[in-house]
A and B are shown apart, each in its own frame.
Chain A
């Protein structure tokens, strides 16, 4: 299948995911289209399948059946590694920074996968951290940073390869209300300024309602 400019940026068709030899069905046939530049919130109760959907959208896991398409092409066709390295930026609830690397080094790690030279890596990482308001924390290790700062480093890392899509899984789940608001402001600003697609999985209603498009998942299905 060739790239189709008219196709949605992200599309899922009849997506199913089951575990434990089919005894647990996390997703039970999801269809969804997301256009470039959309800001979409996905919410649902714990175990509803919202994180599984995000993982499948991000090529972190393989669906049991159905398809995930990026600009009309299947992820298999693009290559999962290339898709994740060049098109996506991930933000996790638990930050998932590498504890033995400094903030600026953590931001450089994704660029190693795309062959960016060392000087550019360093410069781009510093620019992104400054953009996140962390100019004075470049050399700190993750355990020397506050939770809010860690998440901002994670956001800078997600932007390192200038992806077209940001996927955030409960990005404020480990933050207090002040830091939550700050992080969501940052994400909204990035989505707007860069024209990026932003998909946020959250169980917080105010974050979900603030998104222009809000999708609810219940028992592995999108609610009408």
Chain B
């Protein structure tokens, strides 16, 4: 039972952590697709890049570019319990088109105004007209929007100039979101996007024009989340595997005579090995099923916590579930390998003498 709990905790950690990081990645993906952004223009190596806002005009001059929106992106602790993704936008950016306002409306450039995602407004218990204190400055909540994604729903958006003041980035932005003109007839979207990337990078040397989908899945935040999730899960799984290995080794020791009987009546070493491996695999899979429940429960808890609910969706994808079950099965097989080998190589006579 303890082994079962051990492996279920390990698989639970895997399900929760990897689920968390994947939902984070998924939210990024939806963030870009819902806003209609085709390309993100950023510095090559940094997530929080800092580039001159004056490059906006150069980007807008590229023939394939329909819209180029300078923006700042950052993470902000609003209260000790609530953090949020903070965006700085111009008040005429096309990205407003993906937002649906539940109350109020857009902010205005050069004014201390903010709009809040509905989830963040709920976490902060704010409504239109309330004041929100950001780093000692008072901002009026002028709109509450229903974002297309959990990241947006948990975001705070300020006028770009206000954000530049808060972050001491006057004249600088994190990057640009670009919407392209429709591809000409006869040109595939793939080729068109590559052409657009090349033209943009030629217009703003030193910057990187990343496809929105690549930016969503390969940005440093997502990479870090994946790395932490997999690293922590690997440690938990290693502990789980050791637990199963210990249980199976004890089981083989306690059943030495039984194994001797099986060998004496003609069971081949391979069949004894298979028997022990199947038991270990069943233990692993049972732990995996329990662990998926534990992980799902953990994701539910994370979705209720103000510090994390903006980053997580509680749904588990079929591929994530399948991956969890395969890892459970493999954990059992790996853990059972040595006990199985040891059990199958017992001398029948020695095993039968075992007390």
Counting chain A CB atoms within 10 Å of each CB, which of B258, B261, B266, B349 scores highest?
B266
Let me know if A85 and B347 touch, CB within 8 A.
Answer: no
Let me know if A81 and B267 touch, CB within 8 A.
Answer: yes
Given the complex, which residues of A lie within 8 Å of B266, measured CB to CB? 81-86, 88, 110, 113-114, 161
Asked whether any CB of chain B lies closer than 8 Å to the CB of A98, the reply is yes
Task: Report A78-111 CB contacts with B as 1/0, cut-off 8 Å.
Answer: 0001111110101010001111000000000110
Given the complex, which residues of A lie within 8 Å of B349, measured CB to CB? 55, 60-61
Q: Smallest CB–CB gap between A44 and chain B, Å?
A: 18
Complex: A16 Cα to B256 Cα, angstroms: 27
Let me know if A85 and B258 touch, CB within 8 A.
Answer: no
Task: Report A129-142 CB contacts with B as 1/0, cut-off 8 Å.
Answer: 00000000000000
Q: Smallest CB–CB gap between B276 and chain A, Å?
A: 14
Given the complex, which residues of A lie within 8 Å of B262, measured CB to CB? 109
**Which residues of chain A (66-87) have a CB below 8 Å from chain B?**
81-86
Let me know if B352 and A96 touch, CB within 8 A.
Answer: yes
Given the complex, which residues of B lie within 8 Å of A85, measured CB to CB? 265-267
Asked whether any CB of chain A lies closer than 8 Å to the CB of B268, the reply is yes
Given the complex, which residues of A lie within 8 Å of B267, measured CB to CB? 81, 85, 112-113
Asked whether any CB of chain B lies closer than 8 Å to the CB of A157, the reply is yes
Given the complex, which residues of B lie within 8 Å of A55, measured CB to CB? 349
Let me know if B258 and A98 touch, CB within 8 A.
Answer: yes
Specify the chain A residue showing the minimal Cβ separation from B347.
A61
Asked whether any CB of chain A lies closer than 8 Å to the CB of B348, the reply is yes
**Which residues of chain B (257-301) have a CB below 8 Å from chain A?**
257-258, 260-269, 271
Counting chain B CB atoms within 10 Å of each CB, which of A82, A110, A157 scores highest?
A110
Known: A61-B347, A98-B258. A110 touches B352 (CB 8 A): no
Complex: A58 Cα to B264 Cα, angstroms: 9
Given the complex, which residues of B lie within 8 Å of A157, measured CB to CB? 265
Let me know if B264 and A60 touch, CB within 8 A.
Answer: yes
Let me know if A90 and B347 touch, CB within 8 A.
Answer: no
Count how many chain A residues have C-beta atoms less than 8 Å from C-beta atoms of the other chain.
24
A interface secondary structure, majority? mixed
Contact of A98 among B261, B271, B347, B352 (CB under 8 A): B261
Counting chain B CB atoms within 10 Å of each CB, which of A58, A61, A88, A113 scores highest?
A113
Specify the chain B residue showing the minimal Cβ separation from A160.
B265
Q: Smallest CB–CB gap between A51 and chain B, Å?
A: 9
Let me know if A113 and B271 touch, CB within 8 A.
Answer: yes
Q: Smallest CB–CB gap between A102 and chain B, Å?
A: 15
Q: Smallest CB–CB gap between A137 and chain B, Å?
A: 20
Complex: A92 Cα to B260 Cα, angstroms: 12
Specify the chain B residue showing the minimal Cβ separation from A167.
B264
Complex: A90 Cα to B267 Cα, angstroms: 13
Q: Smallest CB–CB gap between A120 and chain B, Å?
A: 17
Specify the chain B residue showing the minimal Cβ separation from A51.
B349
Let me know if A84 and B265 touch, CB within 8 A.
Answer: yes
Q: Smallest CB–CB gap between B96 and chain A, Å?
A: 69
Given the complex, which residues of B lie within 8 Å of A58, measured CB to CB? 264
Let me know if A109 and B348 touch, CB within 8 A.
Answer: no
Q: Smallest CB–CB gap between A123 and chain B, Å?
A: 19
Q: Smallest CB–CB gap between A205 and chain B, Å?
A: 26
Let me know if B347 and A96 touch, CB within 8 A.
Answer: no
Task: Report B312-355 CB contacts with A as 1/0, cut-off 8 Å.
Answer: 00000000000000000000000000000000000111001000
**Which residues of chain A (154-202) have a CB below 8 Å from chain B?**
157, 161
Let me know if B264 and A90 touch, CB within 8 A.
Answer: yes
Specify the chain A residue showing the minimal Cβ separation from B266.
A85
Complex: A109 Cα to B271 Cα, angstroms: 12
Specify the chain B residue showing the minimal Cβ separation from A55.
B349
Complex: A35 Cα to B266 Cα, angstroms: 22
Complex: A88 Cα to B260 Cα, angstroms: 15
**Which residues of chain A (12-71) have a CB below 8 Å from chain B?**
55, 58, 60-61
Specify the chain B residue showing the minimal Cβ separation from A157.
B265
A-B CB contact pairs (8 Å), 10 listed: A81-B268, A81-B269, A82-B266, A84-B264, A85-B267, A98-B261, A109-B265, A110-B266, A113-B265, A113-B271
Extra contacts, 6 of them, besides A60-B264, A90-B265, A96-B352 (Cβ < 8 A), are A81-B263, A96-B264, A98-B258, A98-B261, A110-B266, A112-B267
Q: Which 3 residue pairs spanning A and B have beta carbons closest together?
A: A85-B266, A84-B266, A113-B266
